[in-house]
Chain A
Amino acid sequence: DAGVTQSPTHLIKTRGQHVTLRCSPISGHKSVSWYQQVLGQGPQFIFQYYEKEERGRGNFPDRFSARQFPNYSSELNVNALLLGDSALYLCASSLDAGMIQETQYFGPGTRLLVL
């Protein structure tokens, strides 16, 4: 079975632009989470979605938004890009949400560079 897939793999944008990142979860998984990993740091939680509903939001500005589709795939949108948004954006999928031990499996990430 395919793991978590993300597209694109790399992206270069300029300040002020908008970006959309995409994620497809493991087949059968209903929850998708997004994390931002700045170089040299651990991943930081951005959002979790389950059955198209937001189940959690990290400490990120409103420029960050996401949604989940009926097929459980997800998009992360970032508006008005800043240089500090340059990072590896990781998507993770899990079977469900809100239960303990919901193991999250990560995709390869999208590397975003903002110039």
Chain B
Amino acid sequence: GEDVEQSLFLSVREGDSSVINCTYTDSSSTYLYWYKQEPGAGLQLLTYIFSNMDMKQDQRLTVLLNKKDKHLSLRIADTQTGDSAIYFCAEEGVTGGGNKLTFGTGTQLKVEL
């Protein structure tokens, strides 16, 4: 079965790098996603990575994937106060003609001045 775990809280200073970690259990997952949720809002897609890749960079975001350990991380360079939000990793499962995302519990990122 699928299970996705994240640490609950991360605090960084503005301008530093943030690293948010995630572990997943479903080895058949093909794509893994990072979403951002600001207070009272829906989920904003940040980036995704295919499971046969080990790294993907997109502007200030770097995703690292260790498939052997089923470990995913999101690095945000030069973290800004606007990055304060909850970050969710999610694994995609494809079964029965459909797709579903299994989410972690979310990591709350607080950026301090």
Is there a chain A Cβ closer than 8 Å to B45's Cβ?
yes
Q: Is A45 positioned at the interface, with any CB of B under 8 Å from its CB?
A: yes
> Given A42-B88, A106-B42, are A101 and B100 also a contact pair (CB < 8 Å)?
no
| Pair A104/B101 contact, Cβ less than 8 Å | yes
Distance A79 CA – B99 CA, assembled complex (angstroms): 25
Residue B24 at the A interface, CB < 8 A? no
Q: Does the CB pair B94–A58 fall under 8 Å?
A: no
Q: Is the CB–CB distance between A100 and B45 below 8 Å?
A: no
Of B54-62, B65-73, B103-111, the one contacting chain A is: B103-111
Residues of B contacting A58 in the complex (Cβ-Cβ under 8 angstroms): 100
Q: How far is the CB of B56 from chain A (nearest CB, A)?
A: 13
> Are A101 and B43 in contact, with the CB atoms below 8 A?
no
Q: Determine if A97 and B43 form an interchain contact, defined as CB atoms under 8 angstroms apart.
A: no
How far, in whole Å, are A45 and B103 apart by their CA atoms in the complex? Answer: 9
Query: Closest CB of chain A to B67's CB: distance in Å?
Result: 15
Question: Does A77 make an interface contact (CB < 8 A)?
Answer: no
A101–B50 CB distance below 8 A: yes
CA distance A105 to B96 in the complex (A): 21
- Count residues of A near B (Cβ-Cβ below 8 Å): 32
Give min CB distance, B37 to chain A, whole Å: 9
User: Does B97 interact with chain A (Cβ within 8 Å)?
Assistant: yes
Cβ of A56 and Cβ of B96 under 8 Å apart?
yes
Chain B residue with the shortest CB-CB distance to A44: B103
Q: Are B99 and A104 in contact (CB under 8 A)?
A: yes
Smallest beta-carbon distance A106→chain B, Å: 4
Q: Which residues of B contact A (CB under 8 A)?
A: 4, 30-31, 33, 35, 40-45, 48, 50, 88, 90, 92, 94-106
Binding site for B on A (CB under 8 A): 4, 31, 33, 35, 40-45, 48, 50, 55-56, 58, 90, 92, 94, 97-109, 111
13 residue pairs from A and B, CB less than 8 Å apart: A42-B88, A43-B88, A45-B100, A48-B99, A58-B100, A98-B94, A98-B98, A100-B31, A101-B30, A101-B31, A102-B92, A102-B94, A104-B99
